[in-house]
Amino acid sequence: MGTPGFAAVILRHLLEWDGCEVIAAYTQPDRPCGRGQQCRPPEVKLLAMEHGVTVYQPLNFKTEEAVAELRSLRPDVLVVAAYGLILPQSVLDIPRLGPVNVHASLLPRLRGAAPIQRAVMAGDAVTGVTIMRMEASLDTGPMLLQKAMGIDINDTAGDLHDQLADLGGRLLLTALGKLADGTAVAIPQDHDRATYAAKLTKADGLIDWNRPAAQVHAHIRGVTPWPGAYCTIQREGQKELRVSLAPGRIGPLRSDAPEYEGAAPGTPGTIVGLVDEQLAIACADRLYLVDSIRPADRKPMDARAFLCGYLNACECDGGLAVCV
User: Amino acid letter at 150?
Assistant: G
Nearest-5° Cα angle at 189, 180 to 192 = 175
- Residue 291, burial from CB neighbour count under 10 angstroms (0-12, 13-18, 19+): buried
Q: How many C-beta neighbours within 10 Å does residue 240 have? A: 10
CA 183 to chain centroid, in Å, comes to 33
Letter string b/e over residues 241-267, b meaning 16 or more CB atoms within 10 A of that residue's CB: bebbbbbbbbbbebeebebbeeeeebe
Measured distance CA(268)–CA(279) in Å, rounded: 14
Tell me if residue 38 falls in helix, strand or coil: strand
Residues constituting the chain: 324
CA atoms within 13 A on the CB side of 198: 5
Residue 107 is assigned to a ligand binding site: yes
For residue 253, what are the contacts with CB-CB under 8 A and spacing of at least 6?
A: 285, 286, 287
Tell me if residue 206 falls in helix, strand or coil: strand
Measured distance CA(128)–CA(171) in Å, rounded: 11
Q: Which residues are annotated as a binding site for (6S)-5,6,7,8-tetrahydrofolate?
A: 105-108
Q: Which residues are annotated as a binding site?
A: 105-108
